[in-house]
Chains A and B, each alone.
Chain A
Amino acid sequence: MKFNTIKLLSLAIAVSLVAVNCSDDDDNTTAPTEINFSGTYMQEDQMGRPAINTVFVNDGMKDTFNTTVPSEMGAAFQAAFQAKLEALSPAYDPASPEDANALGFTAEQFTGVLATDVLTVSLDAPTTFFDGTNILTGRNLTDDVIDVELILIFGGEDGLTNPEYPGLTSDNVAANDKTFLTSFPYLASPW
């Protein structure tokens, strides 16, 4: 693309941006004269579910995990996740492959789900990581996702009611340090 074309295009984009920017505080939005959105952007980090890379990906593979497209993650990482889970948690004994968590998932089944690091979100049901009824229908700000994950990692088959390793199934931090807003942008103001 020639420079002039780029310039014109940028201008057109800038104009269209201003045109679509109907807001009630227009005095805050001065017209950008020329904005360049061209170029190729290459992936550096990605995330679906909380703490998956942190917990399940070994050092040395974390950058690779961050630059593997989700459709290829399962094949690339399931086996490594399973080995990591079995090393991490005595609730999954490699000698007893039928060992399962509160969802009824064995180590192989559980890591088969986790290795593809995308967040499943329901457009119909209430959204939550787990609220006692709905499972993995999204992630709310208030969801205690770490306890859910700890229960599924260390709790065994009856993790919700009678966990196998009770000292490991809750970090005993159940809420954020600030109250969330009920309206957009939902997040609390900064410290």
Chain B
Amino acid sequence: MKKTKILIATAVLSIATFVAIAADHIDAPAVQGGTSDITDFYAFRGEETSNLVLIANVQGLLTPNATSSATFDENVLLEFNIDTDDDNVEDLVIQATPRDGKMYFFGPTAPAQTGLNSTIVSTSSNAAVVDITSYGASAIVEEFGGMKFFAGPRDDPFFFDFNTYTEIIAGNASGFNNPGDDTFAGTNVLSVVVEVPKSMIGGSGTIKTWVESKRKQ
């Protein structure tokens, strides 16, 4: 990264930090506001109820202006973890990482290894690629093998009067206001959305899921 770029990034970071926050926005001092900073995670039944939708958002509190230049980091791997046997250890992963304007997906597949370090299971027979949707463009969606894929900027779906919560915690307010004020209104995130047939991730019963961001060493 060039020095000017770093300076701009630092400036943007300090602004983001100043407004700072919440669902998982800003919970990671080591990577706060950076390209691996996860803001949110969702898992819900799809429009087609035999499918499950997984959403990972990163790089929170993007203003519209900042969104147009925000990009996924090619050194960052986003990994959806799925535990199918209730031991809080991933049995399946869905990996997503960008290259040259496209988001590549691998899985659901058994990980090469569980835990904090990952390698990309690029030999998985479940593999797909989608063009990353540019800011302002219509959402580009790819479908393959019953799965659907999207990557690009979206409105931050999280809503919370985080500023008042902070005031309460700091002892400066005794309760929330009514109406409250959504701290995340008008801001964007970078989103990765995958829809997967439930038959590929356990079929029935209950699974445990979480999302991780990992950086190439």
List chain A positions with a Cβ less than 8 A from chain B. Answer: 13, 16-17, 20-23, 25, 28-29, 32, 35, 37-48, 50-51, 53-54, 57, 59, 62-63, 65-67, 69-71, 73, 88, 116-124, 126-128, 137-141, 144-146, 165-168, 170-178, 180, 182-191
Which chain A residues border B144 with CB–CB below 8 Å? Answer: 20-23
By the criterion CB–CB under 8 Å, are A171 and B165 in contact?
A: yes
Which chain A residues border B185 with CB–CB below 8 Å? Answer: 177
**Additional 19 contacts, C-beta under 8 A, given A20-B144, A70-B83:** A13-B123, A20-B145, A35-B99, A42-B117, A42-B215, A43-B117, A44-B215, A50-B24, A63-B28, A66-B28, A139-B42, A171-B160, A171-B180, A172-B178, A175-B159, A176-B157, A177-B184, A188-B154, A190-B188
List chain B positions with a Cβ less than 8 A from chain A. Answer: 21-31, 36-38, 40-47, 52-53, 55, 62, 64, 67, 76-77, 83, 87-89, 97, 99-100, 102, 104, 114-120, 122-123, 127-129, 131, 135, 139-145, 148, 150, 153-155, 157-161, 164-165, 168-169, 174-182, 184-188, 191, 193, 195, 198, 201-217
Interchain nearest-CB distance for A12 vs B (Å): 9
Cα–Cα distance between A188 and B174 once the two chains are bound (Å)? 34
Query: Nearest residue in A to B51 (C-beta to C-beta)?
Result: A184
By the criterion CB–CB under 8 Å, are A185 and B141 in contact?
A: yes
Q: What are 10 A-B residue pairs whose CB atoms fall within 8 Å in the complex?
A: A17-B128, A35-B99, A39-B119, A39-B217, A41-B217, A45-B36, A47-B38, A50-B41, A53-B28, A180-B157
By the criterion CB–CB under 8 Å, are B43 and A139 in contact?
A: yes
Cα–Cα distance between A161 and B72 once the two chains are bound (Å)? 44
By the criterion CB–CB under 8 Å, are B67 and A191 in contact?
A: yes
By the criterion CB–CB under 8 Å, are A44 and B23 in contact?
A: no
Interchain nearest-CB distance for A182 vs B (Å): 6
Interchain nearest-CB distance for B37 vs A (Å): 6
By the criterion CB–CB under 8 Å, are B28 and A40 in contact?
A: no
By the criterion CB–CB under 8 Å, are A71 and B211 in contact?
A: no
Cα–Cα distance between A184 and B213 once the two chains are bound (Å)? 23
Which chain A residues border B182 with CB–CB below 8 Å? Answer: 173, 176-177
By the criterion CB–CB under 8 Å, are B52 and A118 in contact?
A: no
Cα–Cα distance between A49 and B39 once the two chains are bound (Å)? 11
Cα–Cα distance between A189 and B153 once the two chains are bound (Å)? 8
By the criterion CB–CB under 8 Å, are B45 and A126 in contact?
A: yes
Cα–Cα distance between A5 and B180 once the two chains are bound (Å)? 58
In the complex, which of the residues B45, B139, B160, B215 contacts A127, with contact meaning CB atoms closer than 8 Å? B45
By the criterion CB–CB under 8 Å, are A69 and B89 in contact?
A: yes
Which chain A residues border B22 with CB–CB below 8 Å? Answer: 51, 54
Known: A39-B217, A43-B117, A187-B193. A173 touches B180 (CB 8 A): yes
Which chain B residues border A127 with CB–CB below 8 Å? Answer: 43-45, 52
Cα–Cα distance between A29 and B46 once the two chains are bound (Å)? 26
